A = this chain, B = another copy of it.
């Protein structure tokens, strides 16, 4: 048809193989691929998959770290026309070397492209089904908002398996930028790769940026080229944003879920924020923000499904729908229906709308602490705790209490070489918030995290209760 082509991110790699053929596409330790070679290998992966009997509608599971194999599978599995069979990683090199190239064109852009599992901090991991159209549009949005281009170098601090790498496998590829792989998040190695490959972009949870900035190899002055850190998965504290800006790292705060292809929401930076005092701009940037350029308007809804007023006070649940919202949960229509009772997906995050239209998350619904009948946002207490100079990270969870129902307990990691007592931190919070919000206890420890760097509050809640 003259005026219609199905939207699929496979076309981005096909284009980059033509336009950026000799450019370095993937750096994976000593293993490197140009865009032309990556496209060739992707088709040579598709051939053997089809030859092994994989058919459209089948699912292919990939067991691999954050490297070129996962990137190749991202493009190669759809190129075979599919969207669980186990491809043994040990034979991968031979498989691709011997493969007959294949490229099956996508006919329906609304068919499944990929299944991504939720991290399970609030329950059993669920399979989230993405379609081609959503990944295509979300990739364009990510490239546009982060200004990726052929001179960019992207470091894979974010696991590719997490929300399919926030669609950056496709965003980086459409820009003709360089994928710098990182098998394991280790701050010293990250700083080495940033300097060696002149990295311009990376993504991750706030804890990733926190651990990078706490490392002795962190730069004293602004990096050249400047680094853009896209932070999401949890609200970054104003203190962390302030520290990053001081280190010359630009930060974009993104928000989303596995169910929204990663960042459906962006704290869209306004040019005027650059001129503000750092504390003020950090407070603005710590909000979750607005729908990205291809997202539908982000709503904050009351229990009756109606929008809350933009008064920065009335709390509702964040609700989304549109091209970057999942088709549904894999083989679980009941869970899909429950999550989107009226066609708007309920995120489980509670927020308010500021008068500039920006959404600010008060807390995850499951993380709210109800103490003496009062709602207490764990995030608010955490932000105050990490404002203390000795605190590197903090998580606040509910502990069952016979009198109050629940009381807040804090788990804290101190900065390297820093000291603070339990009493000192409790007093720090009491001096800044209503007294009932101060933690009843502070535990100093490493915080348990998922492989994507999210703090496992469910684990901490069990500890607190036990």
Closest Cβ of chain B to A167, distance in Å, is 14
Say yes or no: A268-B19 contact (C-beta < 8 A), given A2-B327, A2-B340, A144-B143: yes
The digit string for A390-401, where 1 denotes a CB below 8 A from any CB of B, is: 000000000000
Which chain B residues border A344 with CB–CB below 8 Å? 2
Selected interface stretch from A10-18, A241-249, A426-434 = A10-18
A174 at the interface (CB under 8 A from B): yes
Selected interface stretch from A211-219, A277-285, A290-298, A368-376 = A290-298
Which chain B residues border A14 with CB–CB below 8 Å? 297
Partner of A356, one of B21, B143, B293: B21
Query: CA separation between A269 and B149, bound complex, in Å?
Result: 10
Q: Given A5-B323, A20-B270, list of 19 further CB < 8 A pairs? A: A1-B321, A2-B336, A2-B340, A2-B344, A2-B345, A3-B327, A4-B110, A4-B322, A5-B321, A7-B323, A15-B291, A18-B297, A19-B290, A23-B270, A140-B140, A147-B149, A150-B269, A150-B270, A174-B293
CB pair B134 A323 closer than 8 Å:
no
Copies of chain A in the complex: 2
Partner of A140, one of B110, B293, B356: B293
A326 at the interface (CB under 8 A from B): yes
CB pair B293 A357 closer than 8 Å:
no
The digit string for A144-187, where 1 denotes a CB below 8 A from any CB of B, is: 10010111000000000000000000000010100000000000
Which chain B residues border A466 with CB–CB below 8 Å? none
Query: CA separation between A272 and B237, bound complex, in Å?
Result: 39
Which chain B residues border A268 with CB–CB below 8 Å? 19, 150, 176
Query: CA separation between A80 and B405, bound complex, in Å?
Result: 55
Place the interface of chain A in its size category.
35 or more
Which chain B residues border A343 with CB–CB below 8 Å? 1-2
CB pair B3 A293 closer than 8 Å:
no
Closest Cβ of chain B to A106, distance in Å, is 13
- The 5 tightest CB contacts between A and B, nearest first, are A151-B271, A18-B357, A5-B322, A19-B290, A3-B327
Which chain B residues border A293 with CB–CB below 8 Å? 12, 15, 140, 174
Which chain B residues border A176 with CB–CB below 8 Å? 268
Say yes or no: A131-B3 contact (C-beta < 8 A), given A270-B150, A357-B21: yes
Query: CA separation between A3 and B11, bound complex, in Å?
Result: 21
A328 at the interface (CB under 8 A from B): yes
CB pair B328 A2 closer than 8 Å:
yes
A325 at the interface (CB under 8 A from B): yes
Say yes or no: A297-B15 contact (C-beta < 8 A), given A2-B325, A323-B3: yes
CB pair B323 A18 closer than 8 Å:
no
Query: CA separation between A344 and B2, bound complex, in Å?
Result: 6
Which chain B residues border A294 with CB–CB below 8 Å? 140
Query: CA separation between A270 and B150, bound complex, in Å?
Result: 7
Query: CA separation between A3 and B259, bound complex, in Å?
Result: 10
Say yes or no: A326-B2 contact (C-beta < 8 A), given A15-B290, A151-B271: yes
Closest Cβ of chain B to A247, distance in Å, is 23
Query: CA separation between A15 and B268, bound complex, in Å?
Result: 11
Which chain B residues border A15 with CB–CB below 8 Å? 290-291, 293, 297
CB pair B151 A5 closer than 8 Å:
no
Closest to A292 in B: B15
The digit string for A123-136, where 1 denotes a CB below 8 A from any CB of B, is: 00000000101100
Query: CA separation between A21 and B310, bound complex, in Å?
Result: 14
Query: CA separation between A327 and B2, bound complex, in Å?
Result: 7
Which chain B residues border A291 with CB–CB below 8 Å? 15
Which chain B residues border A12 with CB–CB below 8 Å? 293
Partner of A134, one of B3, B110, B134, B271: B3
CB pair B144 A18 closer than 8 Å:
no
Query: CA separation between A3 and B12, bound complex, in Å?
Result: 21
Query: CA separation between A321 and B140, bound complex, in Å?
Result: 20
Closest Cβ of chain B to A452, distance in Å, is 23
CB pair A271 B3 closer than 8 Å:
no
CB pair A325 B134 closer than 8 Å:
no
Which chain B residues border A144 with CB–CB below 8 Å? 140, 143-144
Which chain B residues border A133 with CB–CB below 8 Å? 4
Closest Cβ of chain B to A290, distance in Å, is 5
